[in-house]
A = this chain, B = another copy of it.
């Protein structure tokens, strides 16, 4: 989405994809539950399951780098528990 802000700067809209994963060694009860269910269903080829969260944050900005910085700040402030999780920006794209 491209439009002019009140200062006359052309504003774009970006989709920033952030993945939040448990750090290795941190227990994953949801993953373990799915793993157990799969074994009961006969999927003995599965050895383990880990679950992570994927966030698509839609940010208005005049610049992709500023949009990325905003998303990193949001991840650190709101999305991630740094004691047990880490995050990664997977993708940034301009959207309509």
Contact = CB atoms under 8 A, between A and B. Distances in A.
Interface residue SS majority, chain A: strand
A78 B47 contact: no
B78 A37 contact: yes
Contact of A54 (B13, B54, B59): B54
22 contacts: A13-B47, A31-B55, A31-B56, A34-B55, A38-B74, A38-B78, A43-B74, A45-B59, A45-B67, A45-B70, A46-B60, A46-B70, A47-B58, A47-B59, A49-B55, A49-B56, A49-B58, A51-B53, A51-B55, A52-B55, A53-B53, A54-B54
A-B pairs, 9 with minimum CB distance: A52-B54, A50-B56, A47-B58, A48-B58, A54-B54, A45-B59, A45-B60, A45-B70, A49-B57
